[in-house]
Chain A
Amino acid sequence: MNKFKLIISSPDGAIFEGEVSKITLRGVEGELAVMAGHIPFVTAIKPCECKIELDEGEIRTATTEGGLLTVSKDKTALLSSSFKFND
Chain B
Amino acid sequence: MGADIKKLRNRIKSVDSTLHLTKAMGLVASSKIRRATDSMNKARQYERAFAEAIEALTACTECQKSPFMRASEGKKTRLIVIAGDRGLAGGYNANIFRALREYGDAELIPIGKRACEKCGKEINSAERFSSTQALELARTLCEDFKNGEYDRLGIVGTKYVSMLTQEAYVSWILPLERKEDAPSHNAVFEPDEQSILNLAIAEYISALIMSAVRESFACEIASRRNAMDSAGKNAQQMIDELGLEYNRARQGAITQELTEIVAGSNA
Residues of A within 8 A of B (CB): 9-14, 27-29, 39-44, 46, 65-68, 70-72, 77, 79-82
- Residues on B lying within 8 angstroms of A by beta carbon are 39, 42-43, 45-47, 49-50, 53, 56-57, 131-132, 134-135, 185-191, 195-196, 199-200, 202-204, 206-207, 210-211, 214
Whether A11 lies near B211 (C-beta < 8 A) is yes
Cα(A72)–Cα(B56), bound, Å: 13
- B49 touching A44 by the CB < 8 A rule? no
Q: A11-B42, A28-B195, A65-B135 are in contact. Are A40 and B188 (CB under 8 A)?
A: yes
**Contact A82 to B187, CB < 8 A, known contacts A11-B46, A11-B211, A44-B200:** no
CA distance A66 to B131 in the complex (A): 13
CA distance A71 to B186 in the complex (A): 11
A81 touches B196 (CB 8 A): no
Instruction: Please state if B42 and A13 are interface contacts (CB–CB under 8 Å).
Output: yes
How far apart sit A29 and B188, CA to CA, in the bound complex (Å)? 13
Which residue of chain B has its CB nearest to the CB of A32?
B190
B210 and A11 within 8 A (CB) = yes
Contact among B47, B49, B210 with A77 in the assembled complex (CB-CB below 8 Å): B49
Residue from the set A13, A14, A67 with the largest chain B CB neighbour count within 10 Å: A13
Are B207's CB and A28's CB within 8 A?
Answer: no
Docked CA distance A67–B57 (Å): 15
Do the beta carbons of A79 and B199 come within 8 Å of each other? no
- Across the interface, B207 reaches (CB within 8 A) one of A13, A39, A41, A81, namely A81
Is the CB–CB distance between A70 and B190 below 8 Å? no
In the assembled complex, the Cα of A47 lies from the Cα of B128 at a distance in Å of 25
Q: A66-B199, A68-B203 are in contact. Are A10 and B131 (CB under 8 A)?
A: yes
**Cα distance, A13 to B77, chains bound together (Å):** 31
Q: When chains A and B are docked, how far (Å) is the Cα of A68 from the Cα of B45? A: 15
CB-based A-B contact count at 8 angstroms: 96
Q: List 8 A-B contacts (CB under 8 A).
A: A9-B49, A12-B39, A28-B191, A42-B190, A44-B195, A67-B203, A68-B203, A81-B203
Docked Cα-Cα span, A43 to B190, in Å, equals 5
Question: Is the Cβ of B187 less than 8 Å from the Cβ of A71?
Answer: yes
In the complex, A9→B46 CA distance in Å? 7
Q: Cβ of B187 and Cβ of A81 under 8 Å apart?
A: no
CB neighbours of B204 from chain A (8 A):
68
A81 to B205, CA, bound (A): 11
Q: Compute how far the CA of A82 lies from the CA of B49 in the bound complex, rounded to whole angstroms.
A: 16
CB of A12 within 8 A of CB of B207, answer: no
Residues of B near A46 (CB, < 8 A) are 199
For the A-B complex with A28-B196, A42-B53 known, give 10 more contacts whose Cβ atoms are closer than 8 Å: A11-B214, A12-B43, A14-B42, A28-B199, A42-B189, A44-B196, A68-B53, A79-B46, A81-B131, A81-B210
Bound state CA distance, A71 and B53, in angstroms? Answer: 11
Report the Cα distance A42→B189, complex, angstroms.
5
Question: In the assembly, what is the distance between CA of A28 and CA of B189, in Å?
Answer: 11
**Are A79 and B53 in contact, with the CB atoms below 8 A?**
yes
Expressed in whole angstroms, the Cα–Cα distance for A71 and B188 within the complex equals 9
A33 to B43, CA, bound (A): 27
Q: Once the chains bind, are A42 and B135 in contact (CB under 8 Å)?
A: no
Q: Which residues of A contact B195 (CB under 8 A)?
A: 28, 44
